[in-house]
């Protein structure tokens, strides 16, 4: 007789930065609900995420978001197999809200608790998008807090080959946007403005670092934009924000694409995956697609809603952790600087 495997349905919570999110995910790849309550409008008033406000908003939102995720999935808490939650890295106060809520649910129901690394979640968004994707592959993780090149050799196994030595890619987008008067969050605004600008209008540096390095550095580029803008202002010349956006973006993307392709070649993997908020950037998606077509790599890119912070990606990651026997006790604490691959 054929063996009948039971479905594993996980309720996941994500609150590491400025989105309060909850999702229900079946067998890692089927999203039954994906509820995201964004605080972006609130933080826009201050030009960036204010940690205390983020924590307070998470407290107000978390219960409603979880209830809504169960409701949209048409499931009760009883029918859930495990509770997953991001426990790092991120803002400690923000992480603690989601973690405490998840622990309370796990305690009250007696269901297993699974703590997930936020970046692992971002990478796993690719499994939701592309149901056939399996390791090994090279992942470029570019978000507001991280820029990592990660070799995913098998499920749950991550080797960080390179990371940013200063600013994350998304951070550079956000800071440059502020300098050219576009406000927070800068990524989507620069993305849109760059479409109307000339990428060759200004030559900004492309920072590749040492030949064999997979690390990134974006602070020099950010300073170059700042210097350019100040110089233009001193000379009484009006800046063209669209041209600066397009030229800045060209420098960022050329480095991201070249290093990812090099890493995939060096480590002899045939697949590349993008992850993190900056992976929703239209120019990065286009350029990476072109490079992968040219070099013969399979490319996985999650839909934009799965690139920025969400809980479905946490539910997916949790499925693979849970399947390999990993759960956590109620003593699990938030780890703001949690390293990928550490438990």
Yes or no: say if 22 and 97 are a contact pair by the CB < 8 Å rule: no
* Residue found under tokens 């030009």: 47
Q: What share of the chain is helix, strand, coil (3-state, %, to 5)?
A: 45, 20, 35
Yes or no: say if 185 and 139 are a contact pair by the CB < 8 Å rule: no
Length of the chain: 343
In the DSSP assignment, the letter for residue 78 is G
Please give the Cα distance from 13 to 21 (Å, whole number).
6
Run of H or E residues at 87:
strand 82-88
Q: Does 280 bind Zn ion (CB under 5 A)?
A: no
Q: Does 241 bind ligand KG4 (CB under 6 A)?
A: no
Q: Does 188 bind ligand KG4 (CB under 6 A)?
A: yes
Query: What tokens were used for 146?
Result: 């991280």
Handedness of CA 181, 186, 336, 57 (dihedral sign): positive
| Residue (12 or 80) nearer to ligand KG4, CB | 12
Interface with ligand KG4 (CB under 6 A), residue from 87, 127, 158, 173: 173
Stretch 57-86: interaction string toward ligand KG4, x if CB under 6 A? ------------------------------
Answer with the entry of ligand KG4, Zn ion, none that 278 interacts with (C-beta below 5 to 8 A by kind).
ligand KG4
Task: Provide the minimum distance between the beta carbon of 188 and ligand KG4 in the complex, in angstroms, as a whole number.
Answer: 4
Answer with the entry of ligand KG4, Zn ion, none that 93 interacts with (C-beta below 5 to 8 A by kind).
none
Please give the Cα distance from 141 to 91 (Å, whole number).
18
Task: Provide the minimum distance between the beta carbon of 199 and Zn ion in the complex, in angstroms, as a whole number.
Answer: 27
Please give the Cα distance from 319 to 313 (Å, whole number).
10
Answer with the entry of Zn ion, ligand KG4, none that 281 interacts with (C-beta below 5 to 8 A by kind).
ligand KG4
Q: Does 302 bind ligand KG4 (CB under 6 A)?
A: no
Burial class (CB in 10 A: 0-12, 13-18, 19+), 74: exposed
Task: Provide the minimum distance between the beta carbon of 126 and ligand KG4 in the complex, in angstroms, as a whole number.
Answer: 14
| Residue (187 or 199) nearer to ligand KG4, CB | 187
Answer with the entry of Zn ion, ligand KG4, none that 322 interacts with (C-beta below 5 to 8 A by kind).
none
Task: Provide the minimum distance between the beta carbon of 94 and Zn ion in the complex, in angstroms, as a whole number.
Answer: 12
Strand partners, 337: none
Please give the Cα distance from 138 to 266 (Å, whole number).
10
Stretch 129-168: interaction string toward Zn ion, x if CB under 5 A? --------------x-------------------------
Q: Does 120 bind ligand KG4 (CB under 6 A)?
A: no
Q: Does 309 bind Zn ion (CB under 5 A)?
A: yes
Q: Does 170 bind ligand KG4 (CB under 6 A)?
A: yes
Q: Does 88 bind ligand KG4 (CB under 6 A)?
A: no
| Residue (88 or 185) nearer to ligand KG4, CB | 185
Concatenating the DSSP letter of every residue in 17-48 gives SSEEEEEEEETTTEEEEEEEEE-HHHHHTTTS
Q: Which of 114, 91, 18 is nearest to 310 (CA)?
A: 18
| Residue (284 or 291) nearer to Zn ion, CB | 284
**Interface with ligand KG4 (CB under 6 A):** 17, 143-145, 170, 173-174, 185-188, 191, 276-278, 280-281, 308-309
The contact set with Zn ion (CB under 5 A) reads 143, 309
């Amino acid at each position: 007789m054929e063996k009948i495997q039971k479905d594993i349905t996980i309720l996941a919570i994500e609150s590491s930065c400025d989105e309060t999110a909850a999702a229900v995910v079946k067998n890692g790849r089927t999203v039954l609900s994906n509820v995201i309550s964004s605080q972006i409008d609130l933080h826009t008033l201050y030009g960036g995420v204010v940690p205390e406000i983020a924590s307070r908003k998470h407290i107000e939102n978390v219960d409603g978001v979880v209830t809504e995720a169960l409701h949209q999935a048409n499931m009760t808490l009883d029918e859930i197999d495990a509770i997953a939650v991001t426990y790092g890295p991120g803002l400690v106060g923000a992480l603690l809200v989601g973690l405490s809520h998840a622990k309370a649910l796990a305690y009250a129901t007696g269901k297993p608790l699974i703590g997930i690394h936020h970046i692992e979640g971002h990478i796993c968004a690719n499994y939701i998008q592309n149901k056939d994707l399996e390791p090994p592959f090279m992942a470029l993780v570019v978000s507001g807090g991280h820029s990592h090149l990660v070799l995913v050799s098998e499920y749950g196994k991550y080797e960080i080959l390179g990371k940013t030595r200063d600013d994350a890619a998304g951070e550079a987008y956000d800071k440059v946007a502020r300098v050219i008067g576009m406000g927070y969050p800068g990524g989507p605004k620069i993305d849109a403005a760059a479409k109307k600008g000339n990428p060759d209008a200004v030559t900004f540096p492309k920072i590749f670092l040492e030949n064999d390095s997979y690390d990134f550095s974006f602070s020099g580029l950010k300073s170059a934009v700042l210097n350019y803008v100040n110089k233009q202002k001193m000379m009484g010349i009006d800046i063209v924000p669209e041209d600066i956006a397009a030229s800045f973006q060209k420098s960022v993307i050329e480095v991201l694409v070249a290093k990812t392709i090099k890493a995939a070649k060096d480590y002899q993997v045939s697949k590349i995956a993008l992850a993190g908020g900056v992976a929703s950037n239209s120019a990065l998606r286009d350029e990476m697609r072109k490079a992968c077509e040219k070099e013969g790599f399979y490319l996985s890119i999650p839909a934009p809603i799965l690139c920025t912070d969400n809980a479905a990606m946490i539910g997916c990651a949790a499925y693979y952790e849970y399947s390999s026997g990993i759960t956590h006790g109620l003593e699990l604490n938030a780890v703001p600087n949690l390293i990928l691959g550490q438990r």
